[in-house]
Amino acid sequence: MKIRLITLAMVLFCLSVLQAQQRSISGIVTSAEDGSALPGVNVVLKGTATGTITDVAGHYSIKVPSSGGTLVFTFIGLQTKEVKIGTGNTLNVALSLDVVQLSEVVMTGHGKERIRGKKSEYAAPSSTYHNMHIPYQDYVQQEANTEEYEGITENIFKDVFKDPLSTFSIDVDEASYSNVRRFINNGQQPLKDAVRIEELINYFDYDYAQPSAEHPFNIITEISTAPWNEKHKLVHIGLQGKSIATENIPPSNLVFLIDVSGSMSDVNKLPLLKSSFKMLVNELRSQDYVSIVVYAGAAGVVLEPTSGKEKEKIVSSLDNLQAGGSTAGGAGIQLAYSLAEKHFKKEGNNRIVLATDGDFNVGESSNESMEKLIEQKRKSGVFLTVLGFGMGNYKDSKMEILADKGNGNYAYIDNITEAKKVLVNEFGGTLFTIAKDVKLQVEFNPAKVAAYRLIGYENRMLKSEDFNNDKKDAGELGSGHTVTALYEIIPVGVKSEFFSVDELKYQKTDVVKSAQDSDELMMVKFRYKQPDGDVSKLIVHPMKDKQISLSNTSDNFRWSAAVAAFGMLLRESEYVNHYDYEKVVQLAKGARGKDEEGYRVEFINMVKSMGLMAKR
């Protein structure tokens, strides 16, 4: 006993000596260009494996030897800076832009782009996962695999007389934004078809008022000048879903469906997936139950329904997962739905959370087959969340179809902070649906609008008659989610290079007097169903032509416009006119508003990086 006490004392003494030989250095990393905080900067003690990363406010803290050393600050597109540690414990650093490095990255980072039918394929380098972000130096050019994206044809201006109605399904997916960010942080120009502008816009929360009426929505509209074309107007339509406190969400019956095939062996796939799911498990309550199904060459159940209070058991099951084999995605989906239906909670939240790179190659693998399978299964009342991981062989086109057809949502997890956003910060919206089959239809007043175009939502367009057809599937809205849509319109009497139609010879269309006398610009209509309902409800919201100057619009309006312009630039849209990345930055800076998590400052820095790439 005496020997044990002596040993313990010696250990404690050694630890105290070790701690005395170290000290903590902290500080803030900012941009030398404008002084803004830089999140995601790698901070490493030179010559060691000791490192950290700056948070959303640019702050870092790191343990260093009391004797000092040198800290190395690195971030893609910025000049690497080495700073010798002095006697103080605070070390603030400003990083400058590095045009040369960005040019080199763009040249070596570009993959091979091919168009095959309606899909775009992109050959990208493989990668390793490091801390919260993936710095450029961790990427190693290996054998290129092919990424797949569904082809997008940009919406054009439509004649109000010929096409008075615009109808589409809402979209709350966020995958395109984080995927685009991954390209840019990797020094690559995003593939055009990887850029879905509506997903870029809806990545951000907007400061919309909560609904107070009978419906679980609040509708907000605003109109001003289009920033990229002062002859045109921009209409902003916002939809705010009712927020439900986490403790009030019904009990959950969740099935984690995890791809453990060989293609998931990369460290930014299965290891990142495990860390992501552990954060989700930490949010679960005792009344929530989790099952785990895995698939590779075959599918199997590795965890029967387990209460959220048994977190260690669930985490242990995740830790034991290993990657290997082919990818029987269809069999895994079949088994997951079977398990979810077996333990279905009638008044609860029943959902499958699928995590994969989408590279199905055994059994049901084609988009058409997967689509039919999911359409059949969604009738069970089980919703679907799709989480995408990895790069190189990533199959975005499959993931998007699975989520759209499975009454669900889709996010791309490129780093652990994105996992936190999707599975912790937006827990309710990601995993609990408050309305399904949500559709929007707009009728424009021909006395005021000559032509219009919907910005984004190309893969969500519906026929006019689909709006009143309750059998037609549409998007889902989660607790607290916001949806934002933008229309660019050409007012009556304005000549535009983007829209010119000759007068008809054989027929004339007259505008009724009531339209001419009206102060309404358009009529906005929504349809939605309760999560367990089959009959839709209608909301009608007339919008009056109350244009204000762009400078006097809300932060919501200007921020969404800045993000839309960024997406148009990435897609090389003809409608973006002579707008550029620098103008996007200025518009976004003036509309940053509340940014507690730092998502908006990250966007601004991302646009700056693209601006540098564009100048090379």
Q: Which residue has the tokens 């879903």?
A: 241
Question: Residue 404: pLDDT above 50?
Answer: yes
* Model pLDDT, residue 2: 53
What would the pLDDT profile of 455-489 be if each residue is shown by its tens digit? 999 999 999 999 999 999 898 888 888 999 999 99
Q: Quick one: pLDDT band at residue 582, thresholds 50, 70, 90?
A: very high
* Model pLDDT, residue 50: 80
Please provide the DSSP assignment of 400-427 as one string: HHHHHHTTEEEEEE-SHHHHHIIIIITH
* Model pLDDT, residue 215: 84
Residues 6+ away with beta carbon under 8 Å from 312:
none
Question: Residue 11: pLDDT above 80?
Answer: no
* Model pLDDT, residue 614: 82
Helix, strand counts (H, E) of the chain? 15, 26
* Model pLDDT, residue 217: 87
* Model pLDDT, residue 244: 86
Contact 275, 416 (CB under 8 A): yes
Question: Residue 365: pLDDT above 60?
Answer: no
Question: Residue 181: pLDDT above 90?
Answer: yes
Residues 6+ away with beta carbon under 8 Å from 23:
63, 64, 65, 66, 89
Q: How many CA atoms lie within 13 A of 465 on its CB side?
A: 0
* Model pLDDT, residue 363: 57
Q: How many CA atoms lie within 13 A of 87 on its CB side?
A: 0
SS3 211: coil
Strands (DSSP E) along 428-531, which ranges? 433-444, 449-454, 475-478, 482-491, 520-529
Question: 97-106, 136-145, 520-529 — which one is most confidently predicted on average?
Answer: 520-529
Question: 64-78, 87-101, 293-307, 308-322 — which one is most confidently predicted on average?
Answer: 308-322
Q: Quick one: pLDDT band at residue 517, thresholds 50, 70, 90?
A: confident
Of 50-59, 193-202, 591-600, 607-616, which gets the smallest average pLDDT? 50-59
- Sign, CA dihedral 586-591-597-599, equals negative
* Model pLDDT, residue 3: 58
| Mean pLDDT value across residues 524-540 | 92
| Mean pLDDT value across residues 98-117 | 40
* Model pLDDT, residue 323: 84
Q: Quick one: pLDDT band at residue 402, thresholds 50, 70, 90?
A: confident
Question: Residue 359: pLDDT above 80?
Answer: no
Q: Which residue has the higher pLDDT, 263 or 128?
A: 263
Burial of residue 169, with CB atoms counted within 10 A of its CB: 0-12 exposed, 13-18 middle, 19 or more buried: buried
- Please state, in angstroms and rounded to a whole number, the distance separating the CA atoms of residues 440 and 461: 10
* Model pLDDT, residue 367: 62
pLDDT mean across residues, the chain: 84
* Model pLDDT, residue 313: 96
* Model pLDDT, residue 120: 54
What would the pLDDT profile of 67-99 be if each residue is shown by its tens digit? 889 999 887 667 889 999 988 889 999 988 764
Percent pLDDT > 90 in the chain is 50
Q: Which residue has the tokens 């058991």?
A: 313
* Model pLDDT, residue 9: 53
Question: Residue 321: pLDDT above 50?
Answer: yes
Please tell me whether the overall predicted TM-score, pTM, comes out greater than 0.85 for this model: no
* Model pLDDT, residue 98: 66
